[in-house]
Structure 1
Amino acid sequence: MIRLHFFAFASSTSNLSSAKFNVSVPNFWLLRNFDARNYTNMPLVKEFLLHVPNGTFKITFTPLLQSFAFVNAIEFFMLPLYLVPDKVAIFGYGTNRGLTSYPRSMQAQLLETIYRINVGGENVTRGIDNLWRNWFSDDAYVLNPENAKNSTPYNSLIKYHVGDDSEGPNSNKFTAPNVVYQTAKQIISNSSNLNITWSFAVDKDTDHFLRLHFCDIWNSEFGLAYFNLYIYDNFVMQINNNSDGNLIEPLPSPYYYDYVVHSDDSGVMKISVGPDKTENRISAFLNGLEIMKLSNSSDSVPLEVESKHKYKHLAVVIGAVLGGLVLVGVVVVGFVWRLKTRKQKAAENSDWLPIHVTAVGSSHSRLTEGTIQGSPLPNINLGLKISLIDIQSATSNFDANEIIGKGGFGSVYKGVLKNGLKVAVKRSESGSGQGLPEFQTEIMVLSKIRHRHLVSLIGYCDERNEMILVYEYMEKGTVRDHLYNTNSPTLSWMQRLEICIGAARGLHYLHKGASGGIIHRDVKSSNILLDENYVAKVADFGLSKTGPLDENQSYISTGVKGTFGYLDPEYFRSEQLTEKSDVYSFGVVLVEVLCARSAIDPLLPRDQANLAEWGILCKNKGILEDIIDPSIKGQINPNSLCKFSETFEKCLQEDGCDRPTMRDVLWDLEYALQLQRGAVQREPHEDSSSSTSASLQLHNLRLLPSLSSLSEVEDMSIVKGDESDSAAGSV
């Protein structure tokens, strides 16, 4: 096992974030065109497994042209003999469905760890694992958390019944730590129609090694747990607590299954467990999961480093020791290798784990010092700064009982400031997938705008490596909280219309009223909040793009960020962001408000899984009423439904140029509200082809007037920092 540790910081001699380089070992590339820019203020660790022959072993760092290379630490040690088997079954799906044998020896492959997940439990630190591995919680990857629960074991004493040098499927103490097998996600209901599904972003069209960990921690005897395993929604096998007939009593005895799976072209790998409908026992669970990318050897890896080459190389040579489980070397380094320079300067290095540039305990602010790239952050409102001690006091020192929500950035706490003001405190968490760029963007955007339908930023804190945002407190939570999978009160149709109108006003202000224009880029029902009077306010501006546009350009070229199900397909394909991307996302929200179901539900049939596509299909078939939230079906005026459905249909057009502006959407929604109230007055500019409001019917949808065909409000697109990722929930 090789682990490379990178922590990119700026010093007086180098800004490590600008480094670009390759890393290779004999016959394999570990990293190509790599940069170690740090977005989370945490070390970046790259882990690889490969077969090492006897003798010396070289890891070579090669800077790209006009750049340099660095590494903070290297771990290199031997693994147990059978931790990775030499032969693994391939699971094929689609036309290649079935199990076959992987044609190549696993020892001939390079394995790069992509995910190591403790299902149903908290993060597991390296000090607990016998191979010094970190395991991360699965919550961010669960597609349908409403179907799953973190369960309490019947018996927490894990019984390993095989030796440390044994082959699978039975686990030993090196396969995974006890805490992984002592926690699990279990199906929450006795319904045989439910599955638990995890979704992971992976490289497209690539072989991946999967290891799935199981341990029946509820039953005291064999034969009581039967369920099915699925990959890409295709049945793999039936799992039971003695499926191979060779597990040794007593329970709980851990075991695992290995597969090689070739990822499809979606960039997402789905893994599910669900009840076996042929069995009376309804159960399904998973304890742990590992995903590693397989790479073949490459002829392009240089065999020898030639000194006459224009690139400067540095090879770290480590003596390989054969035998039992031996720690070969933990090399703590702080080297920087530059291109076209003879002097090799060592970057400042302190301890095994890097010390943050802003020392713990310091109140120094990264925002005033500079960004990751080392340049001062413009337009930061220092008047909004709140001291960490005041925030700790407001939240009872971040008491877990004060948590009111969690998102991609971190946990949100309810708090009360010294002046008695109720606030929501969003605190960044390591490994959340979002970091300093989102933090900076949120402050810059919200410190220069104020609107009744945008959540107000009360302040922020940037002390002691904390990134904290303080907002006005929204008593009623998110719109999503009131639509499905919740105990919050159901919203009436009138309330839903008024909420949509409020959110549209907020987005219209962002697009046209704010200085330079702002594109939100992550519009979804969980980012629309409600105050005590159910007034809607748009929130979460960490992915926003701001700034003036060239008059000849109507879009921004930028990496794709957003949330599956709400993402504009045109933006996804072209990486060209416009304000019409927000319009598409808002159209998904409109369908969500009408139907009270999630934007993506992979458990439904393929044509129903994507809510936007399903909504358009039902509308075109004239069966839209069949998918409306049953709690509001009897409340909706048919004319109002006509206008509302026409509005979301226009928002969800494939091409951005065919979508309305947010001003048009706002006008149409207000019109739908008036139709609901039965008090519509004809406007002088209304299309004469439309019938009177009293005679509007669902099948006459296209006869309704549309401001988008009458208005020439110029579209404005936008600009500013990039970065985020989902989790589990982001792209």
Structure 2
Amino acid sequence: MAIQHSILFLIFLLQFSSLQFPSLGLYNLQHSYLISCGSDTDVQENNNVYIGESNPSYPKTTFTKTTVEKNESTLLSPLYQTARIFNSQSIYEFNTFPNNTYMVRFHFLSISSPTDLSTAKFNVSIPGFSILQNFDAKNTTDSPLIKEYFVKIIRKRFRITFTPQTSSFAFVNAIELFMLPIHFIPDDIERFNYISPDGQALSTYNGGLLSLETKHRLNVGGNNVNRENDNLLRNWLPDDSYITNPQNANNRSFNGDIKRTANDEYDGPNSNKYIAPDIVYQTAKESKDGSNGLNISWSVPVQKNTDHFVRFHFCDLFNPQPRLTSFLLFIYDTYVRNVNDDSRLSDELHDPYYYDFVVRSDGTGLLKITVKPNVTDNVPKAFLNGLELMKVIELSGSIPLDDLDSDSKVNLPVVVGSAVGGLVLVSVVVVVFLWISKIRKQRPVENSSWLPVRAAAGWSTHSRLTDGTTTQGSPLPNINLGLKISLYDIQLATDNFNAEKIIGKGGFGIVYKGVLKKEKSVAVKRSEPGSGQGLPEFQAEIMVLSKIRHRHLVSLIGYCDERFEMILVYEYMEKGTLRDSLYNTNLTSFLSWKQRLEICIGAARGLHYLHKGATGGIIHRDVKSTNILLDENLVAKVADFGLSRTGPLDQHSYVSTGVKGTFGYLDPEYFRLQQLTEKSDVYSFGVVLLEVLCARPAIEPELPREQVNLAEWGLFCKDKGILEDIIDPSIKGQIDQNSLRKFSETVEKCLQDDGSDRPSMGDVLWDLEYALQLQRGAIHREPHEDSSSSASVSIQLPNVRRFPSLSTLSEIDDMSIGRVTDESVNAEDSVFSQLKIDDAR
């Protein structure tokens, strides 16, 4: 009976705590700031209450020289009957939940008043971003103008600053600020296809902290959708003025139910009720029948040469059963994907879904979008239900990321709320601890987090790696629990994931520099909190690095999988990535040719150990210059094992798997046959070697077409005898010609189309060590000698065989003891001193 009372009390506390901490409960728009600026009373608009500035719950402000204008005309919505005017820089400050994405809206209407509001000229900024620059209010006289933004707020408090231009003023009628559902807009929008200005599809988009400005929101095939009909108070406009070939399309509508299988928090690519309202999915433009159906195209005005986040909404209203959708989507004139409902998470008919892209606009000022029937599959229809387009706002160097959390001045309601919330949370933890200890006799829950616990995670310290109910299947076997680090310790190490600690970003997430206990510097790689994406990579990284140790592989210090977090902690690499050291213009020093060779040798040793030294063999599958890190002594270490695979690794075997990797480095044979071998890593490493020689990216779209792909261009130059023309000018005078010849031959062998023609990583390592000896002058050759020929060697020394690298052997042996001694660093010298021949190949 006492246990039942404890459970009931726990439920009550959780329900009560959600009043103080909105991210503990289901998403609710009422957890928001809706402000009627300049008003003495609360007003209603679209069944929402906007608080007046005299209300006690009104946020903290820093105003100087402000006035209020009023026009109580019954023709105006109450929201636009008042306005706050700023004659000098003024600030609104809001209490927020850190590390969440918020919607920010400003309402502007130049109401009739003693001050001519239409003459206002001003700027609006938020921490890190200038979101409204040189705003001119002249277009706000006839109807309200709403400016809408999506921002990632990383602090506990958030400031909006209005700055009038010289001899002018600023004003605003209303402000909305509310937290969006989890993953409504992805953090840093890095996990989506990126379409370059010429239409080339690149692998991922690498942007900064998230800030987007809504430019267009279209209800395709339908009428205007007003704010009161949208769960997030958005306007959707008809698309008719943007379609370029209306004769090819029919407007279609649907009066039935939209059957959503997505939950209210996150179930992408399915659409929940916050992604878009039913009314958007109940209308569409459908291609008319031609011989195989007709294309439909739209041209939407955008800012030139700027990144835009684009979301496409689809719901099949036309087919009698699910899984029949199939047509092609184009951005500009580039095919970007086959639209079909096979990617959805349910078999429900009329279940809406969406796709996201980041698109770099070209110089025309128009973004072209086309849906095209799938002629190959003989499906004559194509359609589109909705389109959203948002401009990516870049970080502003002149606007700091304010550190508001350190401010000790907090108003009384916040103090009281925090105290009550803290008491509730402590009570919850105590009850959970006692209940679990008594009933399940398990260890107590782990340290509580500083961050608000996301609704998807509930109030659990759930571990993804040991729970057999995860979407990935069975629990991860043989996980090294000794490497587990508490979330609390990681938050301490990174100052609660302070944005100032960010040192990099990648496909898995953001990387922070941190300091663990005992002053140990570490790199902390954090996946998007609460996301199911990246779990296989997270598991693979732990499985690989918890089993192996090598001087030239980045060491895993530990991991954290509390509260649906996925965090990996590595040794900190002072010099960053090889890519940065090669061609980051912010660096004042450049790597010498000898240093570059030593770095390549180190990376080759690490990869060779993966292929041959680890039990079962490991294929890295994502070898590139950003995954080779350098410590303070420029010792190279291979990193990022999230895509790694184990399997049979003799030269006649392969692992069948879907293609993953990075464009520009992908083995063409693997891409073509989907058969992964260790020679796939060899190809990718060959591209890295060319990067080292030429100091340019693997893919550079701005160059002439024949030069875009470094591997293809490098082989062409090698074949034409003009390789020296593309060498990095900073090292061109340093390179010994014999060393260059040996190095370029190694590159050429690595980049062979047929994997069986490529050398093993051990062969590559030996060749690189030999090129280094040639550079050092330890082995003397005449410049005219062809290093590719070993005929003279075989005649002079018929019994000499090629020795493996002693450094490689010593480090493979170290696998069992988990450490590598420093004695192997110069072991290649001893290898070549034993040979004492011009060439051993």
Shorter-chain TM band: 0.5 to 0.7
Letter in 2 for 1:411: I
Alignment of 1:138-537 (within 5 A): 141=194, 174=235, 212-214=300-302, 263-264=334-335, 273=361, 356=456, 359-360=458-459, 362-370=460-468, 371-429=470-528, 434-488=533-587, 489-537=589-637
Contact 2:510-2:526 within 8 A present in 1 as well: yes
Contact 1:209-1:260 within 8 A present in 2 as well: no
CA spacing shift, 1:354–1:495, aligned 2, 3 Å: closer
- Give a deviation string over 1:108-165, Cα, whole Å, max 9, x none: xxxxxxxxxx999769x997999x98587566627699x9998999xx99999xxx96
The equivalent residue for 1:343 is none
Equivalents in 2 of 1:605, 1:206: separation in Å? 34
- Give a deviation string over 1:600-632, Cα, whole Å, max 9, x none: 111211110000000010011111111011111
CA spacing shift, 1:671–1:290, aligned 2, 3 Å: same
Q: Which has the higher contact order (CA 8 A, sep 6+)?
A: 1
Give the deviation of 1:363 after TM superposition. Answer: 2.0
Equivalents in 2 of 1:514, 1:607: separation in Å? 39
Contact 2:206-2:505 within 8 A present in 1 as well: no
Contact 2:695-2:728 within 8 A present in 1 as well: yes
The equivalent residue for 1:650 is 749
Equivalents in 2 of 1:634, 1:443: separation in Å? 43
- Give a deviation string over 1:309-355, Cα, whole Å, max 9, x none: xxxxxxxxxxxxxxxxxxxxxxxxxxxxxxxxxxxxxxxxxxxx995
Equivalents in 1 of 2:767, 2:216: separation in Å? 64
Contact 2:693-2:728 within 8 A present in 1 as well: yes
Contact 2:679-2:755 within 8 A present in 1 as well: yes
CA spacing shift, 1:449–1:593, aligned 2, 3 Å: same
Equivalents in 2 of 1:401, 1:621: separation in Å? 48
SS at 2:569 equivalent:
strand
Q: 2:783 aligns with which of 674, 695, 711?
A: 695
Compare the two structures and name the one with the higher helix fraction.
2
Letter in 1 for 2:789: L
SS at 1:635 equivalent:
coil
Letter in 2 for 1:695: P
Q: Which runs of 5+ in 1 are unaligned?
A: 1-42, 44-117, 178-204, 216-226, 232-257, 277-284, 302-352, 682-692, 714-731
Q: 2:669 aligns with which of 558, 561, 570?
A: 570
Equivalents in 1 of 2:575, 2:499: separation in Å? 20
Give the deviation of 1:379 after TM superposition. Answer: 1.6
CA spacing shift, 1:424–1:628, aligned 2, 3 Å: same
Letter in 1 for 2:770: Y
Computed over aligned residues only, the root mean square deviation of the Cα atoms, in angstroms, reads: 4.9
SS at 1:644 equivalent:
helix
Equivalents in 2 of 1:394, 1:214: separation in Å? 42
The equivalent residue for 1:64 is none
Equivalents in 2 of 1:485, 1:562: separation in Å? 23
The equivalent residue for 1:686 is none
TM-score by length of 2: 0.46
SS at 1:482 equivalent:
helix
Equivalents in 1 of 2:177, 2:729: separation in Å? 49
SS at 1:632 equivalent:
coil
TM-score by length of 1: 0.53
Equivalents in 1 of 2:606, 2:494: separation in Å? 29
The equivalent residue for 2:272 is none
Contact 2:628-2:638 within 8 A present in 1 as well: yes
Letter in 1 for 2:540: T
Contact 2:330-2:370 within 8 A present in 1 as well: no
Contact 1:121-1:137 within 8 A present in 2 as well: no
CA spacing shift, 1:174–1:213, aligned 2, 3 Å: farther
Equivalents in 1 of 2:539, 2:792: separation in Å? 38
- Give a deviation string over 1:382-429, Cα, whole Å, max 9, x none: 000000000000111110000110010000000111121111000001
CA spacing shift, 1:605–1:459, aligned 2, 3 Å: same
Contact 1:207-1:263 within 8 A present in 2 as well: no
Give the deviation of 1:513 after TM superposition. Answer: 0.4
Contact 1:516-1:546 within 8 A present in 2 as well: yes
SS at 1:529 equivalent:
strand
Give the deviation of 1:269 after TM superposition. Answer: 10
- Give a deviation string over 1:229-251, Cα, whole Å, max 9, x none: 999xxxxxxxxxxxxxxxxxxxx
Equivalents in 1 of 2:747, 2:715: separation in Å? 9
Equivalents in 1 of 2:379, 2:706: separation in Å? 44
1:609 equivalent in alignment to 2:708? yes
Equivalents in 1 of 2:715, 2:519: separation in Å? 47
Equivalents in 2 of 1:678, 1:642: separation in Å? 14
Give the deviation of 1:482 after TM superposition. Answer: 1.0
Equivalents in 1 of 2:684, 2:573: separation in Å? 22
Equivalents in 1 of 2:720, 2:686: separation in Å? 19
Q: 2:640 aligns with which of 540, 558, 575?
A: 540
Equivalents in 1 of 2:210, 2:489: separation in Å? 37
SS at 1:565 equivalent:
coil
Equivalents in 1 of 2:631, 2:592: separation in Å? 16
Equivalents in 1 of 2:294, 2:663: separation in Å? 21
Give the deviation of 1:292 after TM superposition. Answer: 7.5
SS at 2:586 equivalent:
coil
CA spacing shift, 1:122–1:484, aligned 2, 3 Å: farther
Give the deviation of 1:483 after TM superposition. Answer: 1.4
Equivalents in 2 of 1:411, 1:444: separation in Å? 21
Contact 1:263-1:269 within 8 A present in 2 as well: no
Contact 1:612-1:652 within 8 A present in 2 as well: yes
CA spacing shift, 1:433–1:705, aligned 2, 3 Å: farther
Contact 2:530-2:564 within 8 A present in 1 as well: no
Aligned-pair identity (%): 62
Contact 2:330-2:369 within 8 A present in 1 as well: no
CA spacing shift, 1:436–1:629, aligned 2, 3 Å: same
Contact 1:510-1:519 within 8 A present in 2 as well: yes
1:663 equivalent in alignment to 2:762? yes
Alignment of 1:109-148 (within 5 A): 134=185, 141=194
Alignment of 1:575-594 (within 5 A): 575-594=674-693
Give the deviation of 1:487 after TM superposition. Answer: 1.2
Contact 2:187-2:210 within 8 A present in 1 as well: no
Equivalents in 2 of 1:675, 1:507: separation in Å? 23
Give the deviation of 1:649 after TM superposition. Answer: 0.3
Contact 1:408-1:434 within 8 A present in 2 as well: no
Equivalents in 2 of 1:525, 1:627: separation in Å? 18
Give the deviation of 1:214 after TM superposition. Answer: 2.1
SS at 1:695 equivalent:
coil
Contact 1:523-1:582 within 8 A present in 2 as well: yes
The structure whose Rg is larger is 2
SS at 2:562 equivalent:
coil
CA spacing shift, 1:374–1:620, aligned 2, 3 Å: closer
- Give a deviation string over 1:159-178, Cα, whole Å, max 9, x none: 99xxx9689xxxx973589x
